[in-house]
Amino acid sequence: MNEDQLWDVLIIGSGPAGLSAALYAKRANLDVLVIEKEYRGTGQITESDLVDNYLGLPNINGYDLGEAFLGHVEQLGAEFREGTVEGFEKEGKWWKVHVANSQAIRTKTVIYCAGASHRRLGVDGEAEFAGKGVSYCAVCDGAFYRGKDTAVIGGGDTALGDALYLSDLCERVYLIHRREEFRGSASTVQQLQEKENVEILTSAVPKKIVGEQTVTALELKDGRSIPVNGAFVAVGMQPQTGLLQGIVKLDDAGYVVADETGVTSEPGFFAAGDVRTKALRQVVTAVSDGANAAVSAAEYIKQMQVS
């Protein structure tokens, strides 16, 4: 790869949004480089044991769906590079993107698809026992808790899916939610209610994760102590937009302000997937965002080249 190359599109992140953007940009005959911090990473989707709401592919494993997306884009000839982006600089009408331990990348447009990371619960013991009983990924770590007792904390689709997944491995699963109503799908709540080894505790607010070498219990604010070997925290996500402070407009929660076109406050800088302001964060909406952002980037390049 020529290090002085001026790319048409630099896509940051190779989850469903980034890969879909790469597919549409390649099909628009643009030079596309995808940069991702994990080798052959496909984003959060790899943490879903089961994706059952992607049209036409019922009951697919998240890792397999990610591999199918990646394979499709590789076939089209998009280039991939492993690396961590550290900052952005405007260079005339185009962009210079700084990457850790590597030469900066020059590009006409950026499509930022860095997704979101796991929100912390923020209770005592959480950091101390991270990796020693506290986990943020049931699909990754569930097998370590085969035949043991676990708690899943949260009331969204992730927590519900994690509890269902763990119920097939663990002796007992406690689903701990701070309110009475669940944010996640009613049909999954019903499936959980039908499981004999799942106990659902609502209006239950965690106070502390306790243990010795590893976790032994989860203490609640109402004084109850739930004896568990593992605590799976599934309390939502935070957009990975720390690098974008002062670059593009963010909302109060840190999401990039952009509609479905992906156009941000900064010309030539587009955002797609979970990082942008939107109502529904799903694989299908990420894929749709990626397509839209690539079309917007292609249009922008065309306009800039005639102006």
Residue number with the smallest Cβ distance to ligand NAP: 156
Q: Is 179 in the site for ligand NAP (CB under 6 A)?
A: yes
In terms of Cβ atoms closer than 10 Å to its own Cβ (0-12, 13-18, 19+), residue 55 is: exposed
Q: Which helix (H) or strand (E) holds 300?
A: helix 283-306
**Segment near ligand NAP (CB under 6 A), from 100-108, 156-164, 195-203, 239-247?**
156-164
Closest CA to 265 of 277, 273, 282: 277
**Is residue 137 among the annotated active site residues?**
yes
Q: Cβ of residue 72: shortest distance to ligand NAP, in angstroms?
A: 21
Residue among 96 and 278 whose Cβ is closer to ligand NAP: 278
Q: Which residues ranging from 121 to 140 are in contact with ligand NAP (CB under 6 A)?
A: 121-122
Cα Dmax for the chain: 68
The active-site residue, picked from 52, 64, 140, 259, is 140
Gap between the Cα atoms of 110 and 105, Å rounded: 11
* Binding of residue 226 to ligand NAP (CB under 6 A): no
Whether 141 sits among the annotated catalytic residues: the reply is: yes
Closest CB to ligand NAP among 27 and 120? 120
Q: Tokens 């940009």 — which residue?
A: 25
Stretch that binds ligand NAP, among 21-29, 94-102, 177-185, 224-232 (CB under 6 A): 177-185
Q: How many whole angstroms separate alpha carbon 58 and alpha carbon 24?
A: 24
Closest CA to 296 of 275, 266, 253: 266
What is the DSSP-derived secondary structure letter of residue 294? H
Query: Which of 156, 191, 260, 261 touches ligand NAP by CB under 6 A?
Result: 156
**Whether the Cβ atoms of residue 248 and residue 266 lie closer than 8 Å to each other:** yes
Site for ligand NAP contains 158 (CB under 6 A): yes
Residue found by looking up tokens 């190359």 in the block = 5
Do 110 and 93 meet the contact criterion of CB atoms below 8 Å apart? Answer: no
Q: DSSP E strands: which ranges in 92-184?
A: 94-99, 105-112, 116-118, 134-135, 149-153, 172-176
| Nearer to ligand NAP (CB atom), residue 184 or residue 268 | 184
Catalytic: 113? no
To the nearest whole angstrom, how small is the minimum distance from the Cβ of residue 130 to ligand NAP? Answer: 16
Site membership for ligand NAP, residue 207 (CB under 6 A): no
| Binding residues for ligand NAP restricted to 234-253, rule: CB under 6 A | 234-237
Q: Which residues are catalytic?
A: 137, 140-141
Residue ranges that bind ligand NAP, judged by CB under 6 A: 48, 51, 53, 121-122, 153-159, 161, 178-179, 183-184, 234-237, 281-282
